[in-house]
Amino acid sequence: MTFRKYLVLAGVTVCATAGDSLLARGMKELGNVSLHNLSALLLAILNPWVTAGILLLLAFFACYMSALSWADLTYVLPATSLGYVLVALIARFGFHEVISPTRWLGIALIAAGVGFVAAGPSVTPGRQHLDSPEPSRDPVSQEVKS
């Protein structure tokens, strides 16, 4: 794991958190969407908060895809789960939602889990030629390359 890879993982965490929070802000402005006016979901994209949230989620997606190209799914997901802690903190200080002691305990557990997985190997060894710029020698990549 290089410094640049940790930066990508940080990008996944921060962009996902900020994006979700902006979306939530926008959806609260729009009010409850029921099954009778599902079209409101399509129009939601026009709300500036929702637009900004979507842009951040696009940045998140680019970082996430990059991370998945060199690390296992079971590594990337826990390693970037610190985002849920950030969401709770934003919910507490940004939206003034109440955070119970149990929830604080949850935050501590997640932080411990992130530390645990981040200290271990990021990829299942010997399965992919991850550091090779060439596609691996399997039918799908050959197909994609040609």
Residues 75-114 that bind other proteins (CB under 8 A): 75-78, 81, 84, 87-88, 90-92, 95, 97, 99-100, 102-103, 105-114
The answer to the question of residue 122 lying near other proteins (CB under 8 A) is no
Residues 29-68 vs other proteins: string with x where CB under 8 A? -xxxxx------x--x-----x------x------xxx-x
Nearer to other proteins, 55 or 97 (CB): 97
The least CB distance from residue 135 to other proteins, in Å, is 5
Using CB under 8 A, pick the residue from 36, 39, 96, 133 that binds other proteins.
133
Site for other proteins in 2-31 (CB under 8 A): 4-5, 8, 20-21, 23-24, 27-28, 30-31
The least CB distance from residue 106 to other proteins, in Å, is 3
The least CB distance from residue 6 to other proteins, in Å, is 12
The least CB distance from residue 112 to other proteins, in Å, is 5
17 CB-near residues (< 8 Å, 6+ apart) = 83, 86, 87, 90
Residue with structure tokens 């026009």? 46
SS (H, E, C) the chain: CCHHHHHHHHHHHHHHHHHHHHHHHHHHHHCCCCHHHCHHHHHHHHCHHHHHHHHHHHHHHHHHHHHHHHCCHHHHHHHCCHHHHHHHHHHHHCCCCCCCHHHHHHHHHHHHHHHHHHCCCCCCCCCCCCCCCCCCCCHHHHHHHC
The answer to the question of residue 144 lying near other proteins (CB under 8 A) is yes
